[in-house]
Chains A and B, each alone.
Chain A
Amino acid sequence: MTTRSIKVENRLGLHARPSALLVRTATKYRSDFFIEHWGERVNGKSIMGVMMLAAEYGSELLLIANGADETYLLDEVTELFKSKFNED
């Protein structure tokens, strides 16, 4: 299991579009993937779960991946956050 903490850097936070991108990216991998926000943990491959986090700009998230390709998954997901989901 690998964990990584990350900051939401796009202004609008994790609304529909970034969430969809995040879920779509994570779904490509076989590892289980979870996101924690304020102690709440959701399945990172479920669009409903990710959107319900309503993670705002500047908030800290903990990404948790578990499986054979966990680091690849986290790398690509981290990249998405860093690129602000191509939004700002």
Chain B
Amino acid sequence: MKEITVREFFNARKKDLALSLITELETLNKKITSPYVNRPGLALSGYLEVFSAGRIQIFGETEVRYLQTLRDDVLFSRIKDLFMMDVPCIIISKGLSLPPVIEHLANDMQVAILSSRLSTVHLVQHLIRYLQDVFALEKTIHATLVDVFGLGILLTGKSGIGKSECALDLVHRGHSLVGDDLITLKFIDDHLIGRSGREFGHFMEIRGVGFVNVEKMFGIERVRRSKTIDLQIELMPWQENLDYERIGLSNTYAEHMGVKIPIIYLPVSPGKSVSVIVEVAAMNMILKNVGYDAAEDFNRRVQEEIRKKSMLKKSVEIQPGTNDNPIDKG
């Protein structure tokens, strides 16, 4: 199981969550082990049988106002019991203040108390989004990720097959680059989110030229930080007897961390403009997503034609006295 220290969390989110540290710096050493947050309402009333200790504890207005009603000795023992559960840290929303006894106890027991100026709802939403990202399953693969007409297309294939060149061509045609060569895939909300495996910026290696900086060369509009992956296109050398998809009625999928992504195996041969085909594949997928499937449509028309011919034939066959079938003559 993944974990992060409260210090890492604090340093990363200080600004976005308008956080300040109430307790001493040494209290930041505990570890957050869960991607969820907890409102400890019932725990503060003394019920600790079921309690999610590994989570960040959020003290909203409910908790703070409730604590203010407690006698000092009760307050002391309830908070002590809570801290004994080894909670990673407490975040108070709306910049509310806690009775001073809690701060002393937190310093003694090394539990960080952070204060955020955000409302409880916003705080929880931000936290969940951040923690989901931090705790998400992830893997890094050798691929190139581009955004074509709003679809995230993962280009895969052997080294030297032309992934970068294809991506460059797509950028040149007005699409955008997410990352080249090393892509980190994260499993978030049943989707795969891809981003560059390194935070070095949007560089690419083009054989014969060397490194190019796509952002500098084409502008900020042609690069993306991350993108949900909708389609994978595997570039492969043209092989004479391999079964390439000819109609598009059958769907094949690649699986990454349990997510099925439609995959297209695209034969690459000299003189073939791969980027145009990638664009076409993207547009075809967009059409499918809005309910139009060209392969199905074409097949339906063929079937209709077949049906018409069969009917015509039958009607000719049942006419009495016509042995001479005009259709069979061809």
Contacts and interface: CB of A to CB of B under 8 A. Distances in A.
B299 A51 contact: yes
B303 interface: yes
Interface string B226-247: 0000000000000001010011
Contacts of B298: 16, 51
* B interface residue count range (under 10 / 10 to 19 / 20 to 34 / 35 or more): 10 to 19
B313 interface: yes
Nearest to B243: A24
Contact of A52 (B241, B247, B302): B302
Nearest to A57: B310
A73 interface: no
Contact of A16 (B243, B295, B310, B328): B295
Interface in A1-27: 12-17, 19-20, 23-24, 27
B303 A12 contact: yes
A42 interface: no
Interface in B290-317: 295, 298-299, 302-303, 305-307, 309-310, 313
A60 B243 contact: no
Which secondary structure characterizes the binding site on chain A? loop
Given A24-B243, A24-B246, A47-B246, A55 B306 contact: yes
A51 B330 contact: no
Given A12-B303, A15-B299, A51-B302, A56 B246 contact: no
Contact of A54 (B295, B302, B327, B328): B302
B241 A15 contact: no
